[in-house]
Structure 1
Amino acid sequence: MSANDDESQEQQDRARITQQFIDAIPHARALGMRVDELGPARAVISMPWAAHLVGDPRREVVHGGVVSALMDTCCGAAVIMHPAAPRSTATIDLRIDYMRSAAPRQRITARAECYHMTRSVAFLRAVAMDEDGDNPVATATGTFTAER
């Protein structure tokens, strides 16, 4: 088996573990989160619009806390997918800038990238988009533990 095959198998194993981790989180299941893509130090997770997630019933806009939970979960998945292979992670700090309301009745997708990793801290950037996809719903920067 070549080094590339070993790396590929390791990445597949981390992707499987990350998917199981997301599936085991009760709030991720309650929000209908779906892992769309996993790769080295990155993750894409989405969730559908649902009436019980609305924060503004008049406009049918999803609550900001739901967007926050999606971005936090996506960042955690990106940490686990880092080639340094941390066993677990937890949020230290997550700053979210809400740019606009998500469009009513549209799926929201978060993309996160772990752009730097020290021995024990991971640094991330993330963006959340709705199906319109032209402008972000929210952007985030964060730090997460990287337990090895």
Structure 2
Amino acid sequence: MSIFTGNDRLAWAQAFISGIPYAVASGMTLTDIGPGRCSLLLPARSTWTGDAERKLIHPGCLSVLADTACGVAVGCAMEQIEPYATLDLRMDYLRPPVAETDLVCHAECHRLSRSVAFVRGELMQPGQSEPVATVYATFMRATAATRRKDLPAGQSVTSTTSAPDTQAPAPKASRPTPAEAASSLIAPASVEPSQVFVSRAADMPETLAVPVGRSPYVDFLNVHQQPQIDAGPVFRMPYKADLIGNPVLPALHGGVLAGFGETAMVLHLLATNPTLTAIPRSVDFAIAYMRSAKPIDTFAQSTTVRQGNRVALVMVSLWQDDPSRPVVQARGHFLMPREDD
């Protein structure tokens, strides 16, 4: 029998979302919930704008919302709450999302096996009858729920916010309360300060990836560009507490990694096509998660696999302290701008 009945499911989902620093910072709220499904709202903000000239939301904002909503849907499908994590996520961008307009993701866990959960969903904007994007995601069940021990030792640290240094509660024989069920997945939003490591070569010259104001979401991520190496430039996303998705481990939000990956691919196209006068538009995006991302700086480098007159296929690798051990690999198709666009 499911642990969820009536208000229990709502209480668990609200506790789950309030335990994700990124979700709290972005103002995500539940608008609907049921067995194996949920609807999650991302309120309009100018910060989410990816293309200020065309007034479009950055596709990374859609990925973060979709990843979070799909995660809630998985929890709502379980009979007994247990830790789980995103394996992969695919986004199809059907039409341009209008900036400074709310986004809602309707997600449904349509298959829950012993090891993997399968989720699908649609992202809508008020006033539109058709979705702006669709999402398909898979989640691995029974993942680690204890605080990580793989932060590098002997490096300088910076003070920020993360979870208390405690382990997840042991399973109870009796039915857990909604708060206990939520805490088995993620810590409460109000957490104690601790220290995390910053990974960056101090002598590596950098510049801002784009001029301030051209892409407010890239400004929010504070993406920096390092000198071009081999196939293209390296980009760095500095760590900050608002990017955490799981404060128990702690780990960066998987959707934030997706947003950074999409950003790095677009910036790669701009850097390797200096004649472009507009930002390439995302057609689709697929991301695979190799390992959880630590609360440190994250780096990305992309490769153009194929580029035609209208569409480019790009791959990106994200890493933290070792380029040979990526935390994420992703690929995406992009519509290259024309003069008449």
Shorter-chain TM-score bucket reads 0.7 to 0.9
- For 2:88 and 2:2, the matched residues in 1 are separated by 30
Q: Aligned AA for 1:113?
A: E
Q: Which residue of 2 is the match for residue 118 of structure 1?
A: 113
1:11–1:40 CA contact under 8 A, matched in 2: no
Moved more, 126-135 or 68-77: 126-135
Q: Which has the higher helix share?
A: 1
Moved more, 21-30 or 74-83: 21-30
Cα 1:106–1:8 shift into 2, 3 Å: same
The residue correspondences of 1:56-135 to structure 2 (distance < 5 A) are: 56-135=51-130
Distance in 2, Cα, partners of 1:108 & 1:20:
21
Q: Is the 8 A contact 2:122 2:131 kept in 1?
A: yes
- 2:13 counterpart (9, 13, 18): 18
Secondary structure of 1:66 counterpart: helix
Shift of 1:147: 2.7
Distance 1:104 1:9, change over 3 A: closer
Q: Secondary structure at the match of 1:90?
A: strand
CA distance in 2, matches of 1:98, 1:104: 15
CA RMSD of the aligned region, Å?
A: 2.0
SS of the counterpart of 1:125?
strand
TM-score scaled to structure 2, two decimals?
A: 0.40
The one of the two structures with greater contact order (alpha-carbon pairs below 8 A, sep at least 6) is: 1
Higher gyration radius (CA): 2
Determine the structure 1 residue equivalent to 2:36: 41
User: Which position in structure 2 is the counterpart of 1:3?
Assistant: none
Partner amino acid, structure 2, of 1:17: W
Deviation for aligned residue 1:53: 1.2
Equivalent position amino acid for 1:133 in 2: Q
Greater mean alpha carbon deviation, residues 87-96 or residues 7-16:
7-16
Q: Which runs of 5+ in 2 are unaligned?
A: 144-341
Contact between 1:120 and 1:147, CA under 8 Å: does it hold in 2? Answer: yes
Quickly say closer, same or farther: Cα 1:146–1:12, change in 2 above 3 A.
farther
Give the fraction of aligned pairs with identical amino acids, expressed as a percent. Answer: 36
Aligned length: 143
